[in-house]
Structure 1
Amino acid sequence: MTMTISPARHRSLGDHTWQDQAVCQSTEYNPVDPEIFFPEPDETDKITAAKSLCGQCPVRRTCLDAALESGGTDGIRGGLTEEERGPLHEKLANRLDYSRVNATIAGRDVHLTKAERRAVVHAAYRHGVTEQRLAWLLKITEEHAQKLYRETRRALRNRDLEQTTKTTPPPEADGERLGRDDFGTAA
């Protein structure tokens, strides 16, 4: 059995073309009542029907991301109810999805959290991406990109210095390593 994992498809800024592939889009051959996606909390039949449709949808993850990124709290989106999406809304600011970081480095215009933006700066710096390119990728000024690179250089230098001091061997006496017993005892 061969398994293929396709890369994540992230919604670009302002891109709504994914909605054309959504199972919830009503067509002549697939009439879907949009009201089932906005049930009252006690309408379990509607909730079950909506989640069943979402379970078959090829763009379910993109729909969920769009709901979370836009702050959409109404209805069933991405297969989850408003209540189920609540904790995800709270955690969104801390999301760090490296496939989004890599997509951005590759030139895709995807929604990024603050953590993902920091990761883009770090990855771009490590890969030698120019400040001009970083500015274009993050939609910021070149001056801001320069500042981000300076901060990254400083953070990496400080991290390297901390690691060096942690790995520096303790001082030796007459070429021999000092042991615990060499320091005496407290009075």
Structure 2
Amino acid sequence: MTTTRTSPARHRSLGDQTWQDEAVCRSTEYNPVDPDIFFPEPDETDKITTAKSLCGQCPVRRTCLDAALEGGDTDGIRGGLTEEERGPLHERLASRLDYSRVNATIAGRDVHLTQAERRAVIHAAYHHGVSEQRLAWLLKITEEHAQKRYREIRRAERNRDLDQPTTNTPSPDTDSECLGRDDFGTAA
């Protein structure tokens, strides 16, 4: 029987560039890599293929892609994707919702978050009983701002509960007869 181990996602912390030391594209004395292959012209398919094959071997490929997207880097091949392939990802970045990033933030890591992920952190923190002070620290916001976010969640949940339709079903214990339309009289 073969077991597969999935390692936890390694998310880049705020200001962290140490992931670049593990990149396959980093040129060293023993591994000379021409950086020009990562900036090919659209018709240079050999360079594109070579760069993508290097990216395919890279242990920090996902981190590289995240850094390119979060930094707005639209030039060259990053994270195994060309400029054209990253285009749609750049457009959808603000709505990205990766729960592994949310969980890493709740655990105390300083992770780059999108607006959707920040909202998810606030909801997760609220439902897990994280204090307002801790939420403020996690998101690098003021305690007053954290209190405001928690108030918004409480209000939204209260309103959601009020909007739930209530059904008046007769209890199975009672021997009530089924009432018809004529049993209620007429409206005045």
Q: Same fold (TM over 0.5)?
A: yes
Q: Which residue of 1 aligns with 2:37?
A: 36
Unmatched tracts of structure 1, length 5 or more: none
AA partner of residue 16 (structure 1): Q
For the 8 Å contact 1:26–1:32, the answer to whether it is kept is yes
For the 8 Å contact 1:105–1:120, the answer to whether it is kept is yes
Q: Which residue of 2 aligns with 1:24?
A: 25
Distance in 2, Cα, partners of 1:69 & 1:177: 63
Measure how far apart 1:7 and its partner are.
1.0
Measure how far apart 1:170 and its partner are.
6.2
Q: Which residue of 2 aligns with 1:168?
A: 167
For the 8 Å contact 1:97–1:116, the answer to whether it is kept is yes
Measure how far apart 1:145 and its partner are.
0.3
Measure how far apart 1:175 and its partner are.
4.0
Measure how far apart 1:159 and its partner are.
1.5
Q: Relative to structure 1, is the Cα distance of residues 138 and 178 closer, same or farther in structure 2, using a 3 angstrom cutoff? A: farther
% identity of equivalent residues:
85
AA partner of residue 169 (structure 1): N
Measure how far apart 1:179 and its partner are.
7.3
Q: Which residue of 1 aligns with 2:113?
A: 112
Measure how far apart 1:161 and its partner are.
2.0
AA partner of residue 167 (structure 2): T
How many residue pairs end up in the alignment? 180
TM-score normalised over the length of structure 2: 0.89
Q: Which residue of 2 aligns with 1:4?
A: 5
TM-score normalised over the length of structure 1: 0.90
Distance in 2, Cα, partners of 1:177 & 1:115: 50
What is the RMSD computed on CA atoms of the aligned residues? 2.2
Unmatched tracts of structure 2, length 5 or more: none
